[in-house]
A and B are shown apart, each in its own frame.
Chain A
Amino acid sequence: MQIELLYFEDCPSHEAALARLREVLAEEGVPATVTVITVETEEQAQRLRFTGSPTILINGYDIDPPPSDAMYVLTCRAYHLPDGRISPLPSAEMIRSALRRATRT
């Protein structure tokens, strides 16, 4: 399984996101290596189709697919949580669901 975490340095939640990702991987017993990629330029954001930091891709698929009109820019990403809150961090449940979907396919 290929797992990537893309981040933009200005957004401080990437370390917490990586820790949360590793925690879920351990809980799910998935021995995956996480590739961490720093996105530093607008050109790189375009090329990587980066819609904000942090972004987690599992086998190339975003754990929380952005809308089709999302811009590829150096920005911090907002995750919409089930209780209506917005967080700069994906929830553990969001990561877990994406991981289980990927292991089924």
Chain B
Amino acid sequence: MAKLNLGDKAVPFSLLGVDDQAYAFDDYADLIRVVIFSCNHCPYVRAWEDRMIRIQADYADRGIRFLVINANDAVKYTNDSFPRMQERAREKSFNFPYLYDETQEVARAYGAERTPEVFLFDQQGILRYHGTIDDNYDDPAAVRRHYLREALDAVLVGSLPPTAETQPVGCTIKWK
């Protein structure tokens, strides 16, 4: 499996969103893009989901765009099917495109393994942070390191993140 390393250029993609519109990585050229591999069923995603929504909201007017991708095999995990993705996006009022990587090609190209797993690209499409959202899936009030927020703050001012890579924590991507 290919794997993006820090400093690599993003692998462009175009995927169908839950609103039946296609979204491409390059649609947001010149923005900081946060690609998150996610899904519906995983409890780690559920635990972090509100924080994902909150971070996107907090940074939306600062040129940051989340692109959230579900690549799970929906045959084995029916809760991750496209119609269930549409339901979940409505229930949670997602403020980011929720995209379906049905062929799993994007997840494989990125070398993603877990949900959630974050890839943060700067305005030039260079990978600047990879890993987890923060250091506590269980309790948002007990978070000590807000890795994604710290990385966003750094990239926004043209610096490198204080921690550029962490171990993604979550369910494994369900491959076909």
Inter-subunit contact B171/A11 (CB<8 Å) = yes
Inter-subunit contact A10/B171 (CB<8 Å) = yes
Choose among B44, B77, B140, B172 the residue that contacts A88 (Cβ–Cβ < 8 A): B44
Does B155 count as interface, using CB distance less than 8 angstroms? no
Q: Which residue of B lies closest to A89 (CB)?
A: B138
Q: Tell me how many residues of B have a C-beta within 8 Å of chain A.
A: 15
Q: Which residue of A lies closest to B140 (CB)?
A: A85
Q: List 27 A-B contacts (CB under 8 A).
A: A10-B171, A10-B172, A11-B171, A12-B170, A13-B44, A13-B137, A13-B138, A75-B77, A75-B171, A76-B42, A76-B43, A76-B171, A77-B43, A78-B46, A79-B43, A85-B47, A86-B43, A86-B46, A87-B43, A87-B47, A87-B137, A87-B139, A88-B44, A88-B47, A88-B137, A88-B138, A89-B138
**Which positions in A face B, CB cutoff 8 Å?**
10-13, 16, 75-79, 85-89
